Structure 1
C-alpha cells in the first residue's frame, strides 16, 4: 500500500471482516479438526494469470488472527506484479488453526483487489501508445473505495476523485437543477473558486458551452466514436476531454484514438471478476 491508503482505516476494516467471519464465536471446523500446536505453511498461489494487488492486506489479515510471535511471512512478489497461474505470491508459517481461520477473509480481499488490478491492466494495455489515460470512477463497493482505487493504480490506471469534496463534477441532474450548463458552472465556481470543475455533457453544443464558460475538463457522456472525434476537433485543445459511459474493452483503443485525454471506466471497480488465488497448506 502507498501513502494514499489510510493504514489505520485498513486495520479497522480487517478487524471488522474477521469479526464478521467469526461472528463472536470460533472457527468450529478448524477447532475440531486441527491440533492447537500444529504448525504449517500456508502458500498463496495464483490459479490464473493476472496482476496482484492486496498482498499487504492479506498479511494484515494473517497477522490479525495469529499471535505476533507465531507467524513468519515471506513475500514472493509485490503488488502490481504480473503473475502466471501457479506462481507463489506469499507464504506464511504459523499455527495451522490461525492460518485456516484467516483463509477466507484473506482470499476475499486479495482476489477482489487483484481482479480490479488485472482488469485495469487490460484496459491500460488496450490504449497503450495513444496518449489516453484510463481512470476509475466512484462506482466502488461501499467502504472499499480506497482499496479499490489503490488496486486500479497497481494495474497501471489513474484515479478520478476519491470523494465528492475533492473536485466538482457537474452532471446532467445538476444542469437541470441549475437551469443550464453555463449557470451550473457559474454557481460552482462562485461557491468554490479554487476547486477543479469537470462538466458532463452529452452533446457537442453543450461541450462548447462548457468550454466558453471556462471548463478545463469535460466529460463526454455516451458518445460514439465519430461524435467523440468531432468533439475533439471542435474543442480544439481548449479543454481536456474524458470519454465515459458505455465503454467496452473491445472499443477502448478506437475511443482512445479519437484524441480524448481520458477514458473513465466504472467497470474497473464495479464489474471486475476476481483473480483466482488459492491458499495451499503444507505441513512442516
Structure 2
C-alpha cells in the first residue's frame, strides 16, 4: 500500500486521472439508482404512437416489471393521467348521425364524463362545410342532463368559421371525481351535396380535403381524453355505401388533428356495415 501511495505521489497527473474516473463512476451509479425509482407515464396526446406509450410505461416502471399488468388496467391508468391533465375526461361518447331521405341530418352525442377539476362550463363544437350561399341552417334540438339532480343547459351558441359551437352550463358545478352525463342533439337542415349534385358536379365544385376527402359531410374533433367511443351513421332508405375508409391523426396541443397520419393506429379501426334493417344501412365503429 505504501508503494502505491509513493507511486501516486510521484505521478500527480496519473493521480488526477484516476480520481476523475472514480468520480464519474460514482456519479453514474447514483443517477442510475435515482432513475430506477421513477415511474413514468406517457399520455396519448404528446407522443407519436399509443403503442409506444404502452411499451414505455411497462418497461420504465418498476411497478410493472415486478407485477404483470393487464391491457385494461394500463388503459385505465393512461385515461386517468390524461384526464387529470385536461381537467376532464369522457368515460364514454356515443355519436349518432342519421341522414334523412332529403339529405338533411340529425346528429346526437350522448356523453358520460368524469371531472378532474371544478367545471361549471364546458364547450362542444361541430365542424360543417360551407354551403354556396355562405350559411348553414342549423337547429339545436335538445340539451339535457342524464344525471338525476343535475341540470345541463346552453349558455351560448354561435356559428363561426364553419364551426358551430355551444357552451354548456352545469348546475350544480362539477367537482373532482364527480360524474355526469348529457345528450346534445342538432339538426342540419341544409341537404348534403351528395344528395343534390351528381358525381361530376361534386368533382367540379368541391375542394378536395387531404384529411376527409370531399368536404361534404360534417365532422367533430374529440379533443379531450376519451375512454370509449362509439360511432353510428345511418344512411337514407336503400342507400348503401360502396366503400368505407378511415384515417387516424394524433391531436396537436390545440386539439385539432396533426398532418401526419398514424397508420399503425388506423389498422385498429374497423367499420361494420350493418343492414339493411327496415330498408336502411348503417355503419358502426367502436373504439376502446
**Bigger strand share:** 2
TM-score category of the 2 structures, normalised to the smaller one: under 0.3
How does the TM-score come out when normalised to structure 1? 0.23
- Decide which structure has greater helix share: 1
| TM-score normalized with structure 2 length | 0.23
Q: Which has the higher contact order (CA 8 A, sep 6+)?
A: 1
Choose 1 or 2 for highest CA Rg: 2
